[in-house]
Chain A
Amino acid sequence: MKYLDEYRDGKIASRIVEEIRRIQTRPWVIMEVCGGQTHSIVKNGVDYLLPRGIELVHGPGCPVCVTPLEMIDKAHAIARRPDVIFCSFGDMLRVPGSEGDLFTIKSEGGDVRIVYSPLDCLKIARANPDKKVVFFAVGFETTAPANAMLVSRAKQDGVHNVSILVSHVLVPPSIAAILQSPQNRVQGFLGPGHVCAIMGYREYEPMSARFKVPIVITGFEPLDILQGTLMVVRQLEEGRAEVENEYSRILDREGNRPAQKLVASVFEIADRKWRGVGSIPKSGYKLRWEYRDYDAEKIFSVKEIDTREPEICISGRILRGIKKPHDCPAFGTICTPQHPLGATMVSAEGACAAYYAYGRHLESKREELEAMASLGGAA
């Protein structure tokens, strides 16, 4: 928790907050989509700086969180095989499946390796020709170009002992799913900056027009989030619904064309299941037929695994902005980052884990913190 005058750019932050206060005539609910933004908001207490009536709710943009339990279990089944070297980004190792996590499998003798880049898997595959190297390809649009390059290079270079377990999800269909829900409360969105660095923001324009909802592509620093919030509130107050770009110092409308091109040649759009939310049509990627020999789900015919999430967990409603972490009786009691019950507690970028890490399970402190933040603003 920071007070306004502690921000590096405290004066600018104060001015933005004042401007929101000046133009706001009624309450608004705004969702930040990206897990990096959620983490920044909760760590820096950005939501406490905003005028009362501007509510930030936390979206589904944490890839670790929304990877379905069935897929985690599939990953574990493959990682347990003695002929496999299973590679993953570090944040997937701690995510519990139905039985243990990848760390457990590693401690029991499985060859599980944390890699920095998907391209590391090519080196590992070349160094271990007698093993099958599998990469857990989890992520949003930002990560897809890296995974596409791994598969594309493997095919071009004739490296046959590498494959990827694909659990790729896309931001725009998840926003559409939230807006189509009869329970939806969200009136404006802070769009994901680094996702749009790859994809640009063209594809958000028809959605903004169709649902009459402002979408402002926003960075993850506290000032970005305040500025993005101001831009959304201004649109809402003026009755506009457009896509605007707060993060123009990083990205433009077109995004990264070479990356988009390679992604489109390796992956095609597919229905995907989201943990806590369920299946969303056309909401992810699968490998194109030409790359089927690199599809770990086809190579290792892992049977469908029947999983069940704890009934008490409300992570699905949190991911859609209907509930907040402290609306859940399990939050911070039987559900903690050490023993997560559901999607939003499994990664630091999940709303529940972020709230827990920054002491928000002690919500009796909330009033006190809000009061201090507003004092800081006046200083």
Chain B
Amino acid sequence: MIGLSAWIGLGLAWLGAAVLVLSDARRGLAVGILLSAAGLALVRLVEGDAVDAGLLLAGGLLASVIALRRNPRRGWGLLPAGSTPRIVLSIVVGGAALWLGVGALASPGEPPARAAAVIVIALGAGRLLGVRDPRAALAAASLIALGAGTLEALATTDATGALIGSIAAVALNLIPTAADSEAEGG
């Protein structure tokens, strides 16, 4: 049962990251952050660290709220025209990250938790490096922060990693972006 929950958490994290990758507007981005944070929190909870889970969920929630409020692009913006490369990215990079987390790495933490964090980082990285819209880029960067915080939390016994990841995710979304940059975003 515990194992299944962990894999569900991994799936949730993947789904959240994929939503973020496939979305261009604020609702999609915010939900992506939230789902990913929830997935990461679940895998930490399953591993028995409720504090980490709480911190990650709270950080993700706060970050998604800020992302929602700060982004001027309304709506979901899911699967806009020309999304095929992003769908491929979500599957291929997600799959590669899963292999890396489960097959190629022996630590930190258990395979599902590790893989979830790596998937979130990889998909966040893919989105961050490919997008022109600064708000979407910051949302993607906050995924990386949450994933890195989870990895740090897996490697240590205290909650500092999760705390720092969460704070970074929130801080990234708090960064103001210039209006002209917004206009350039696509």
Please say whether chains A and B are actual partners in one complex: no
